[in-house]
Amino acid sequence: MAQLWGGRFTGSINELAWDFNASITFDKRFLEVDVRGSKAHATMLAKQGIISEAEKDQIVKGLDSILEDVKAGKLEITTKYEDIHSFLEANLIDRIGDAGKKVHTGRSRNDQVALDMRLYARNEIEHTADLLKETLKVLNGIMESNTETYMPGFTHLQKAQPVTLAHHIGAYFEMFKRDLLRMKDIRNRMNYCPLGAGALAGTTYPLDREYTAQLLDFYGPTLNSMDSVSDRDYLIEYLSALSTIMMHLSRFSEEIIIWNSNEYRFVTIDDAYSTGSSIMPQKKNPDIAELVRGKTGRVYGDLMSLLTTMKGIPLAYNKDMQEDKEAAFDAIDTVDNCLTLFTDMLRTLKFNKDNMEKSAMMGFTNATDAADYLVKKGLSFRDAHSVIGRLVLACIDKNCAIDDLSLEQLKTFSDLFEEDIYDAISLKTCVEKRLTIGAPSSTSIEKVIRLNNDFLATFSIL
């Protein structure tokens, strides 16, 4: 068993306790960031004269060789090591001797692991942003192709007013755009270097923390050593943002599941993202959308796990905080997979435009416009609302749309109806006369699409 401590102990740790305490099985994914942090630390130590340049060069070369050998499969990360830090240090000492024993000068595992998690989280935040940006590009592409694809807009899952597919998809563009902006906010807030905080109270060595931060592309060093080793706010923010992404994906998945049903038939999901039934040969199930919806609860659970772990921990570092890693890793992996698959499914999704338009026609989505027509003819809105309500009831009895009634039939409800009613309540008119920014008219949507393109062209996570 390789560990970074032991001088204080005379007995051996219980094997089960060792396994329970160890984190090597999951923190091994810190390998690259731990190497990067150790190289930066050694470079700073040499600059400050704490170790020699020759020792620094040995350390850097040794760390690089370990990383290369692990990647090449020549060196295995095994459970005989307590964590990734002991794995690297033990192998470094084996390779370069006494110089390897100096890499930990002025450093604690507390600030080392705090650094590793920040570096890892920063990389993952940037990756999540890339995935979100790709999702936004696909969404904007769907919008560009469907500014005149009419469909019902819903409230309470009931048909409400006519919109376009571009308008409906645009709502999700706004959601995922906010998710992307949250990635930038989180990265900016967490981009400070904890290395040099020591166990909790800094160190007596003359470290140059500003230089270390510069080497690792941070804005600067953290300003309180106790907070440096015990802060996991940035992870909680990140998992909260990931949970919001999953909520948005789940809402969208729910709609695709509904739209894919025989009752709607608004979409056809590509075979690559569907499965069949073992007993019912006619079935084509939206499994990817359903799994995305299901995995949302898993990410919520990871967030609650981390919040619960952190809620009762006194300053500064405590071993409980080791529990941050598996929850964070699981949430990150889950969201990455869900975003990738969902975006690929969206890219191949076929929209059944005729079914969408027929649904809007038969759902009385133009009823509000019919009431507005009567208001413009001089009737009060409340009376117009009552007239159209009775008219809709009659259409339900006849199993027809308002547009299907003759002018003579319409006049039995109000003498104010004239021939121009049919144009006034057509889907095209109902949509196109809504010209305010954010509304579904093609003029409004095309302006939003241009703004979306500008955003995608200029956005940078850095």
Catalytic residues: 156, 277
Structure tokens at 46: 């040499």
Q: Which residue has the tokens 């150790």?
A: 38
**Distances in Å between the alpha carbon of 450 and those of 132, 275, 323, 346?**
18, 37, 45, 21
Distance between CA atoms of residues 303 and 180, nearest Å: 19
User: Could you write out the three-class secondary structure of the chain?
Assistant: CECCCCCCCCCCCCHHHHHHHCCHHHHHHHHHHHHHHHHHHHHHHHHCCCCCHHHHHHHHHHHHHHHHHHHCCCCCCCCCECCHHHHHHHHHHHHHHHHHHHCCCCCCHHHHHHHHHHHHHHHHHHHHHHHHHHHHHHHHHHHHHCCCCEEEEEECCEEEEEEEHHHHHHHHHHHHHHHHHHHHHHHHHHCCECCCCCCCCCCCCCCCHHHHHHHCCCCCECCCHHHHHHCCHHHHHHHHHHHHHHHHHHHHHHHHHHHCCCCCCCEECCHHHCECCCCCCCCCECHHHHHHHHHHHHHHHHHHHHHHHHCCCCCCCCHHHHHHHHHHHHHHHHHHHHHHHHHHHHHHCEECHHHHHHHHHCCCCCHHHHHHHHHHCCCCHHHHHHHHHHHHHHHHHHCCCHHHCCHHHHHCCCCCCCCCHHHHCCHHHHHHCCCCCCCCCHHHHHHHHHHHHHHHHHCCCC
Strand partners, 161: 153
Q: Cβ distance 165 to 352 under 8 Å?
A: no
Cα angle: 425, vertex 430, 433; to 5 degrees: 125
